[in-house]
Structure 1
Amino acid sequence: MTPLFKGAAVAITTPFSHDEVDYATFEKHVNFLIEEGLQALFVNGTTGEGSTLTEEERLNLIRSSLKVSNGRVPIIANTGTNDTKASLSHSLKAKEAGADAIMLITPYYNKTSQRGLIKHFTLIADAVGLPVVLYNVPSRTNMTIEPETLVELAKNPHIVALKDATGDMEYLRQCKELLPSDFAIYSGNDDAIIPFFEGGGDGVISVLANATPKEFQEIYTTFQENPAKAKELFEQILPLIKSLSVDINPMPIKALVNHLGYAKDEVRLPLVELEDDARAPIEQAYHVFKGE
């Protein structure tokens, strides 16, 4: 099985103007990210404020991504919710809109068991028929996909990858040990990509790559031939990664993307824009990293 991608992908932000999606700026950003070397785009996720988007907005963002990409990279739509029927509906509509694959988060709030996860993911994967990336982010959902559960899910021909945002390298080790070699595992944590690559990870689905796409792909590519050099490149970008921890994602990256001209500094409630004293250190870290 060929992986959806190897290397760096991005969880892309969604630009707003007066509380409306700014599709022109979004398309400009998509083209920038692809031209700078990113290998895939994840649309309508946490970083894209997907939970605050209308159904029409989510579908239009998928269509806009596909139009600009024009087959250059996979467009992967985040369609998971804590409701199986809603997740299935979102997924089928994303398929109709042309998405190359979907990503499904573990149910949150009304959590389920590991048996429930298997039924939830399997029902959607079988009905939709697109490649599925599972999303394990216990810091947001308060539940995890156990490695043994992943083994069962990986038997489904449509479930092909995992976005692992646990930050737990022992979890990665167990998954790599138990899962088939062609099941892709991507880091969901920018600050852990070197140990993740060392553990056999296939890439990263990055937040910061909204602003530094070329650099994230370069770290992955360099690691394949020269891990020591890749570590040096990572150490150079690490202060910028850490600068985004000033507040809750996607508020900090939205401020930086705004600074670069790919969004207005606008988020949807319950998120709020960063205060100036929080924004300035991020911008400074970016310019220091860029040597400007």
Structure 2
Amino acid sequence: MTLFRGTAVAITTPFKEGAVDYETFERHVEFLIDNGMQSIFVNGTTGEGSTLNEEEKLKLVELAVKVSDGRVPIIVGTGSNNTAATIEHSLKVKEAGADAIMLITPYYNKTNQRGLIAHFTAIADAVELPVVLYNVPARTNMTIEPETVKILGENKYIVALKDATGDMNYLEQVKELGMEDFALYSGNDDSIIPFYERGGDGVISVVANAVPAEFQAIYETYASDPAEAQRLFDKVSPLIDALGIDVNPMPIKALVTELGYANGEVRLPLVPLEAADSKVIHEAYKAYKGEA
């Protein structure tokens, strides 16, 4: 099952005096869908899901579902290192209207590959929604081995993998397993061209919060004109590099603030960018848009 092809966005969560700014969130969802996003991913790393309470998380899901009105799938990050708690929350997210859930590998009390299979299988079977596995070892110090992906992909609810390893050898190993109807999405904006070259189905993007149409155009162009897709990517690459100036989502939050979809606030332990770093990002954005 392919939930989408092309670019999904890991949407930021705006705050206002410490509270979630739901009105601005709705405007951002509408902007993203109007500009070609194939799916909206809510309550992930970029959305600061780890510092949202359950009421806030469910409200954001409900609003994303309402604004989308069936135009694109709403995927929600519900994974944690507590299997029972993940099931409980995922069932509430399902009731709120989510189309799919994304599950990160357990962190801190990390397990082994057998434990991953048991963890993900228990959640998928209990929730009965499409599941995107999320492999991001840089944040969890745990990886989903290709053979484990193969076993998990035999579950009818586990339909995709977000691969944030940045390792094309890993992607090739997963592709070689010959998993039909199992989608592979990049979790790294800076490597989408080699990801597409190896048969990837799309990307769950950070930079697309600010340049959604442009990032989707790279995917659409690649199918017919890889050289032109590379040119489009090379043009946006300096902006992607600028967003690496500090830990995600602090840089993208600064950029979407410039666009009116946040006001610079993040929640601790994150802190706002230094002014000099914000300037670097804003200058890169202006240069990309031809405004410099």
TM-score tier (shorter)? over 0.9
Say whether 1:129 aligns with 2:144: no
1:149-185, CA deviations, whole angstroms, 9 ceiling, x for partnerless residues? 0000000000000000000000000000104131000
Provide the secondary structure at the position in 2 that maps to 1:48.
coil
Assess if the C-alpha contact under 8 Å between 1:101 and 1:131 holds in 2.
yes
Q: What is residue 17 of structure 1 aligned with on the other side? A: 16
Given the alignment of the two structures, is residue 76 of structure 1 paired with residue 75 of structure 2, yes or no? yes
* Matching residue of 2:240: 241
2:208 paired with 1:216 = no
TM-fit CA distance, 1:48:
0.2
CA distance in 2, matches of 1:10, 1:132: 17
Match of 2:189 in 1: 190
Q: Distance in 2 between matches of 1:213 and 1:273?
A: 23
Kept in 2: contact 1:189–1:206 (CA 8 A) = yes
Map 1:49-60 → 2, pairs under 5 A: 49-60=48-59
Deviations 1:112-162, CA, capped at 9 Å, x for gaps: 000000000000000100000000000000010000000000000000000
- In the alignment, which residue of structure 2 is the partner of 1:149? 148
Aligned partner of 2:106 in structure 1 is 107
1:268 counterpart residue number: 267
CA distance in 2, matches of 1:179, 1:164: 17
Q: Distance in 1 between matches of 2:53 and 2:181?
A: 35
1:225 match: secondary structure: coil
User: Amino acid of the residue matched to residue 189 of structure 2?
Assistant: D
Task: Find the aligned partners of 1:101 and 1:166 in 2 and give their Cα distance.
Answer: 22
CA shift digits 1:180-204 (9 cap, x unpaired) = 1310000000000000000110000
1:93 aligned residue: 92
Q: 1:13 and 1:213 mapped to 2: Cα distance?
A: 13
Residue in structure 1 matched with residue 278 of structure 2 by the alignment:
279
Contact 1:154 1:179 (C-alpha < 8 Å) held by counterparts: no
Assess if the C-alpha contact under 8 Å between 1:210 and 1:257 holds in 2: yes
| Rounded Cα–Cα distance in structure 1 between residues aligned with 2:81 and 2:242 | 31
Secondary structure of the structure 1 residue equivalent to 2:160 = strand
- Cα deviation per residue 1:73-119 (whole Å; 9 max; x = unaligned)? 00001000011011111111100111000000000010000000000
Distance in structure 1 (CA, Å) of the matches to 2:135 and 2:103: 9
Aligned to 2:250: 251
* Other-structure match for 2:157: 158
- Note the alpha carbon deviations across 1:249-268, whole angstroms, 9 max, x for none: 00000000001000110000
- TM-score, scaled relative to structure 1: 0.99
In 1, Cα distance between the equivalents of 2:207 and 2:233?
A: 12
Corresponding position: 1:171 with 2:166: no
CA contact (8 A) 1:150 1:179 kept: no
2:199 alignment counterpart: 200
Number of residue-to-residue matches in the alignment: 291
Gaps of 5+ in 1: none
Letter aligned with residue 290 of structure 2: G
1:30-69 equivalences under 5 Å are 30-69=29-68
Contact conserved, 1:48 with 1:250, CA < 8 A, in 2?
A: yes
Of residues 172-181 and 18-27 in structure 1, the stretch that sits farther from structure 2 once superposed is 172-181
C-alpha RMSD over aligned residues: 0.5
Paired with 1:208 and 1:82, the residues of 2 have a C-alpha distance of 27
Q: What residue ranges of structure 2 are gaps of 5+ in the alignment?
A: none
Where 1:135 maps in the other structure, the secondary structure is strand
Deviation at 1:26, TM superposition (A): 0.2
